[in-house]
Amino acid sequence: MVNRVVTGAHYGLRDWLVQRVTAVVMAFYSVVVVVFLLLQPAFGYDTWAGLFSGNLMRTFSMLFLLSLFYHAWIGMRDIVMDYVKPASIRLTMHVLVILALVLYVIWSVQILWGL
């Protein structure tokens, strides 16, 4: 019997799951939007803006964007962890990615609710 010493921060499984749940949300949203666009006989501003005029679609789009940003965080963090060795540059890149994504969340609300 080997007594293995388990180390690490133990966020791996949660992030693995989050990455997949957010992926499914985004895939579903993408298919819905693409099917909607393909069903339009003529496409223009009215159709496009009309799609985002309802609160349901705005909420669904916000859910998509939040999924995207969380997904992007896990992906970018993994890439930085794998390829960037110096701790200072790695930390800086992590912070920049987080700051950008938080700003994108605020921006998304402004876009979708026309602020």
Residue of 92, 34, 32, 23 whose CA lies nearest to 57? 32
When the beta carbons of 63 and 111 are compared against other proteins, the nearer one is: 111
For the bound state, the minimum distance from the C-beta of residue 49 to other proteins, rounded and expressed in Å, comes to: 6
When the beta carbons of 63 and 112 are compared against other proteins, the nearer one is: 112
The count of residues in the chain is: 115
CB distance 68 to 22 below 8 Å: yes
For the bound state, the minimum distance from the C-beta of residue 98 to other proteins, rounded and expressed in Å, comes to: 12
For the bound state, the minimum distance from the C-beta of residue 23 to other proteins, rounded and expressed in Å, comes to: 5
When the beta carbons of 91 and 100 are compared against other proteins, the nearer one is: 100
CA 40 centroid distance within chain: 27
Q: Cα separation of 50 and 92, whole Å?
A: 41
Q: Which residues bind other proteins (CB under 8 A)?
A: 20, 23-24, 27, 30, 45, 48-49, 52, 72, 75-76, 78-79, 82-83, 97, 100, 104, 107-108, 110-112, 114
For the bound state, the minimum distance from the C-beta of residue 96 to other proteins, rounded and expressed in Å, comes to: 11
When the beta carbons of 9 and 83 are compared against other proteins, the nearer one is: 83
Q: Cα separation of 16 and 71, whole Å?
A: 10
Q: Cα separation of 65 and 83, whole Å?
A: 26
